[in-house]
Structure formats: C-alpha cells, structure tokens
Amino acid sequence: MIETGLAGKVVIVTGAASGIGKATARRLAEEGCLVASWDVKEGEAETGGLFQKVDVTNASSVEAAVAEMVSRLGRPYVLVNNAGILRDGQLVKVKDGAITGVMSDEQFDTLIAVNLKGVFQCARAVAPEMIRAGAGGVILNASSVVGLYGNFGQTNYVASKAGVIGMTKVWAREFGKYGIRVNAVAPGFIATEMLQGMPEKILETLRGRTPLGRLGQPQDIANAYVWLASDAASFVTGAVISVDGGVVTGT
C-alpha cells in the first residue's frame, strides 16, 4: 500500500455535496485528512471534518469560509477545486436553414462564474494561507477531457475547462518556489448525477466512445486526486491528468 503522507492534513473540497466532490471528500477522510467540504447546497461533514455552505462565485463567501476553516481545523494543505455546473447549448442553433436560437449571456456567464471564476476565487483565498504556513501544499483543479479536444454544444463549458488548464499551468510556475504543487484532472464520462437523467441510448453511446467500455465512477476521479495530493506525486506539478478510460484516443 502506498503511503500518501496525507494523514492529519487539512483539505478543502468544493462541490462536495454530491458526485465526484463527495467521493473525493470521503477518500481524503479515509486517508486521515481533516476535510472541509464546501458546497452551495446542503451536505454532510466527513468524519472529523467540517461542512460549510459556500458559494464559490461570491468572493466574500469564499473568504469567510477560509477564515472559519482555519480557526476550526487549521491552515489548508490541499485545495480540490471541484465545483462545476453545466449549461449546454449550441452557439448558434439552425433548423431547416433558419436560425432558431443562440447561446445566451446567462448560459455563458453563469457557467463561467462557477467553473472558471470560482476556481480563481478559491485559489486566491486559499493559496495565501498555504504560503503563510510555509509547509507547501497542493492545489488540484477540475478540468475535463472536453477542455482538451472540444465538444459539440458546449462552448461555455469547454471554455471554462480550457481556462482551468491555463490557470493550472500559470499557478504551477508562480507557486513552485513555495513548495505548492498545482495540477489538473480531466475526467471523461463519469456516472454522476449529471448523467442520471440521460436516456440509456445516449449512455450506451458514451460507453461506446470509451475504449475501456464503461463509464467512469466518481471513485476513479477521487483516487486520482488522492494520488496527486500525496507524497507519491511530489515531483508532479503543472500537469493535466486525463482520467477518461481512453476516451480521447477513442474519438
């Protein structure tokens, strides 16, 4: 068994009330971490941890949560920027040769506020605490395989996830001298609540586009986060790790 070196470390997981975030918070708790679980929805604290209702689009909400967490758990060693939403739609929709719709400002701005600016605001609030502690740290950002190769009907989502990759690489350069590593995980098609409402025919198509022949599970992504946070990945920074069952090569 790999020794992760995470026992006793304080970690923050955003979007922790469900899906990948919840699985990640639980896995980190299993490693002995003190987990601050953040979500705009109601959720549960993991064993020995803390649940905080936080809106990552609101800088004051994020800053207040950091202050409370530091007072109750201590300074953070790991930040997992997992919170994200979907607002899918084509940039320009055409039917029978006629323009029938376009992506709205609300679709674009609302998603960017969560998926991109939320990552920025959380890192901006948490990184200073890591620097002050002087013990290094790890920032892990949720991108997506579509941020690498694009996807039909997801202008806003792809823009956010490609932007996350860009910020990850910048922060890896900026924070390396403080012993803070910054990496991104790019999940493929994962069986979360977001997919539960899809017809079986579409789910079968997604499986068919994945060389390993199945949808990923939230635990698959959680395991990647744990590895990247651990001492086993101590020389990994500025990387984008695809956890996708081979879907990039399968398209």
Residue 75 included in any domain: yes
Residue 248 included in any domain: no
Give the residue among 137, 143, 133 at the shortest CA–CA distance from 167: 143
Residue 1 included in any domain: no
Instruction: Give the pLDDT score at 251.
Output: 53
The answer to whether 31 and 225 are in contact (CB under 8 A) is no
Q: How far is residue 175 from each of residues 81, 118, 123, 172, 211, measured CA to CA in Å?
A: 16, 19, 11, 6, 36
Q: Say what the alpha-carbon torsion angle 215, 146, 161, 186 is, to the nearest 10 degrees.
A: 40
Mean pLDDT of 142-162: 95
Q: Measured between alpha carbons, how far apart are the two ends of the chain, in Å? A: 35
Number of domains in the chain: 1
Which tens digit of pLDDT belongs to each residue from 21-53?
999 999 999 999 999 999 999 999 998 899 999
Which tens digit of pLDDT belongs to each residue from 201-243?
888 988 998 999 999 999 999 999 999 999 999 999 999 999 9
Residue 250 included in any domain: no
The residue ranking higher by pLDDT, 82 or 200, is: 82
Q: Which of 149, 157, 178, 225 is catalytic?
A: 157
Name residue 34's amino acid: L
Please say if the pLDDT value at position 1 is more than 60: no
Angle at the Cα of 170 (from 222 to 28), degrees rounded to 5? 20
Q: How far is residue 30 from each of residues 49, 122, 183, measured CA to CA in Å?
A: 11, 24, 22
The chain-wide mean pLDDT, for the chain, equals 95
Instruction: Give the pLDDT score at 196.
Output: 74
Question: The domain spanning residue 85 has which CATH number?
Answer: 3.40.50.720
Residue 40 included in any domain: yes
Residue 63 φ/ψ, nearest 5 degrees: -65, -40
Name residue 188's amino acid: G
157 is catalytic: yes
Residue 97 included in any domain: yes
Residue 239 included in any domain: yes
Mean pLDDT of 165-178: 98
Mean pLDDT of 187-192: 93
Instruction: Give the pLDDT score at 248.
Output: 67
Query: For residue 249, what pLDDT band results from cuts at 50, 70 and 90?
Result: low
Minimum mean pLDDT range among 2-6, 60-64, 139-143, 170-174? 2-6
Which tens digit of pLDDT belongs to each residue from 103-146?
999 999 999 999 999 999 999 999 999 999 999 999 999 999 99
Residue 117 included in any domain: yes
Q: Number of helices (H) and strands (E), helices first, in the chain? A: 9, 9
Domain range for 56 is 10-243
